[in-house]
Structure 1
């Protein structure tokens, strides 16, 4: 059955174009990319800790009194007051290169890199969610379009029935009650049309906003629902699919991150060694003094081991929890993939059932029209046959759209 849009088309999008636009313009995608960029900057920031740490400071002072004051004792005979340094200037500049920081810098960089990898995976997860939502909106519009086309066919059928019944009323072959029954059915169809049109308008607005398109001229390109490929062409074992799931990869990254956290906690309690150079300038007694110096520093956090050993044990426990979460995620993801496969095959079977239902209801409608025209069946039987035909057409459309949506969901959850 071919879709016949009932409104003037503007910019027409295929499903592939909708997906491409969503990945480019959707707000969730934009924010996710910003999260990736922030993680990238964090990694670059961590790398700078390999470089020397440079600092400089300076001071100029002026006292109201001289800073150093004393009395000089001349062998107990007299005391001579002395005072000096009332003003001066002082400046230093140092550069310290960490030689060994308990592996904190190395592990910190690895952790920052891992954080960027996690953000990239989360971005892929966001992309999958956006694509799936876009696909659902697209096929919902396609379904409503097809329902609208079915209503057009039913309207023509009811108009024909109405003319026949009206003629029968005029000739006295039936009562006006039959005509009223046809009118009631036409009113039901009009009510359904109103719901379909409202649903189409709102859903198109939602999809247009979701993909960043102008909803005032937005429409989708739809065609006849044909028999889809068998889901067997897309099957993958749950065990193989799990290894490619982003959620599983994220769980594994969490294990790696907790491993780095253990190393970070351990490195906090190791000695730290650094070497540096510096320059000192001062002018305190009206004489400029410039001097350079080289130095080395060693810091050993002895007392921190009292509580540090417990902190390290806590970090190891968290890593063990992450391992348990990864195993649990692996098992649950396998169950989810198996469930998605069952839903997909069931949806495919529903298409065939709906196709048979259309064939049966079409033949039933044809026979009832013949019998009604020949006076061998009642108007009630004909209207019932029309209702069954309408329902079977709509059920077939819904089954096809449901299959396409579930196929997209299955492929999203089983392919990298």
Structure 2
């Protein structure tokens, strides 16, 4: 019986352990790939959200500008109380000698006016007919400003994607350097143990042991700095993609030449997609041109229609009877500017200079695009070559370390030689990590300059809309 009970308890404990392990695995965050980090940034990044908010605001500006074509209807009303102070009566003497019958005398205050409360109210309709093209150009400016804001969203997305790539590969780089520091530390610990054994047997000096121990302290500090750098790197990536640093676990991605080559081949014609910066400058030029036309419209007349209906009490249309009376009105107004002492002309010259400046900015940006693309191509090509050479140097340093260690055991090399070989290996491995990260980052910069990242963001939004 006890045996059955023990078997049952053991089985229950086993099931509980399996369930707890499954729960721990389920709670562990899934490793994030570069693709996933990009998608999370496009969905949660605050800079993109702020740019989108500005774009939505500009859309409302367009809707507001369209209403300027429509009539305005206003209501105005008022109430007046003359106060307690009575108005001085006035009267007309109707007692005309020889006309007024005897015995019939009209008092002077017979038609005196007493103070009353006055109520007024009415509706007024105003319809612009011709405002010197001000409304037309204001609508053009609003549309251009809206399009500029939407292009700014595209630019922000491309910049965020570039930042995500840099932050992602920085985390990968620091993680590899932490592993490298641990490996270096392990090598020194093994070397220190071997020297301790040799020192115990009298085959080496205390000085040689101390050299390795000093190097161990240096590596310990380097490891701590690398671990702190890893925490900060994850915090930066988490801020960009909208997650906590503790939840970030990245794929142990290896930056291979094949992967970089495939992305490089996939780049489109650099002039097939217009850069958001250029599109924004085009919209800025359109805004300055519309602003110039608005200034020129100050030389033209303004024509508007006005109509309305007003009520008053006392009724002025029926001898100030104490009831409500009203009347309608309609008219056309014209405002023609005549003399402003050259103010409008000066404003036109100022607007022309703003147009010229916008044109020059657009031309300069277009000329710099080709230069920037070529520079980024050179940087990426150099990074690929550097990646190839550092990989070779790492392999040579590993072989040198192996030979030096074997020679040390045979007494052909000193402790100084092995320490130098280990330091050379650590330096070569670190340079290899930096070179691979540099190759990935320069490719992201090249993708941004050629417009590939704009297409990536657009394709992402299309996928989201189809879901």
TM-score, normalised relative to structure 2: 0.80
* Residue number in structure 2 paired with 1:3: none
In the TM superposition, residue 255 of structure 1 has moved relative to its aligned partner by: 1.2
Paired residue for 2:293, among 249, 260, 263? 263
In the TM superposition, residue 235 of structure 1 has moved relative to its aligned partner by: 6.3
* Residue number in structure 1 paired with 2:22: none
Instruction: In structure 1, list runs of 5 or more residues that go unmatched.
Output: 1-7
Larger Rg: 2
Structure 2 Cα separation of the partners of residues 66 and 345 of structure 1: 97
* Residue number in structure 1 paired with 2:397: 361
* Residue number in structure 2 paired with 1:201: 231
Matched, 1:72 2:92: yes
Native 8 Å contact 2:260 2:440 kept in 1: no
Instruction: Map 1:310-329; keep pairs closer than 5 Å.
Output: 310-329=346-365
* Residue number in structure 1 paired with 2:5: none
Structure 1 Cα separation of the partners of residues 69 and 287 of structure 2: 21
Deviates more, 1:88-97 or 1:106-115: 88-97
Once the two structures are superposed, residues 87-114 of structure 1 have per-residue CA deviations (whole angstroms, 9 ceiling, x without a partner) of 3322110212212111111111110111
Native 8 Å contact 1:269 1:304 kept in 2: no
In structure 2, do the counterparts of structure 1 residues 104 and 191 end up closer, same or farther at CA, with 3 Å as the change threshold? same
Structure 2 Cα separation of the partners of residues 55 and 232 of structure 1: 63
* Residue number in structure 2 paired with 1:229: 260
Structure 1 Cα separation of the partners of residues 293 and 437 of structure 2: 52
Structure 1 Cα separation of the partners of residues 150 and 310 of structure 2: 47
Instruction: In structure 2, list runs of 5 or more residues that go unmatched.
Output: 1-26, 98-105, 315-319, 455-467
* Residue number in structure 1 paired with 2:218: 188
Structure 2 Cα separation of the partners of residues 386 and 50 of structure 1: 79
Structure 1 runs (4+) greater than 6 angstroms displaced? 75-79, 235-238
Matched, 1:409 2:445: yes
In structure 2, do the counterparts of structure 1 residues 109 and 188 end up closer, same or farther at CA, with 3 Å as the change threshold? same
Deviates more, 1:18-27 or 1:106-115: 18-27
Deviates more, 1:300-309 or 1:27-36: 300-309
Structure 2 Cα separation of the partners of residues 375 and 40 of structure 1: 80
Instruction: Map 1:83-98; keep pairs closer than 5 Å.
Output: 83-84=112-113, 86-98=116-128
Native 8 Å contact 2:289 2:355 kept in 1: yes
In structure 2, do the counterparts of structure 1 residues 219 and 303 end up closer, same or farther at CA, with 3 Å as the change threshold? same
Matched, 1:34 2:70: no
Deviates more, 1:67-76 or 1:264-273: 67-76
In the TM superposition, residue 395 of structure 1 has moved relative to its aligned partner by: 0.6
Matched, 1:288 2:321: no
For residue 172 of structure 1, give the secondary structure of its aligned residue in structure 2. coil
* Residue number in structure 1 paired with 2:457: none
Matched, 1:51 2:70: yes
Native 8 Å contact 1:282 1:288 kept in 2: yes
Once the two structures are superposed, residues 65-98 of structure 1 have per-residue CA deviations (whole angstroms, 9 ceiling, x without a partner) of 6779644365987994654363332211021221
* Residue number in structure 1 paired with 2:82: 63
Tell me how large the CA RMSD over aligned residues is.
Answer: 2.7
Structure 1 Cα separation of the partners of residues 439 and 445 of structure 2: 10
Structure 2 Cα separation of the partners of residues 385 and 182 of structure 1: 13
Native 8 Å contact 1:102 1:272 kept in 2: yes
For residue 278 of structure 1, give the secondary structure of its aligned residue in structure 2. strand
* Residue number in structure 2 paired with 1:382: 418
In the TM superposition, residue 402 of structure 1 has moved relative to its aligned partner by: 1.3
Pick the structure with more strand per residue. 1
Native 8 Å contact 2:260 2:443 kept in 1: no
In the TM superposition, residue 136 of structure 1 has moved relative to its aligned partner by: 1.6
* Residue number in structure 1 paired with 2:179: 149
Paired residue for 1:114, among 144, 157, 164? 144
Native 8 Å contact 1:94 1:276 kept in 2: yes
In structure 2, do the counterparts of structure 1 residues 255 and 69 end up closer, same or farther at CA, with 3 Å as the change threshold? farther
* Residue number in structure 1 paired with 2:374: 338
Native 8 Å contact 1:259 1:319 kept in 2: yes
Matched, 1:24 2:43: yes
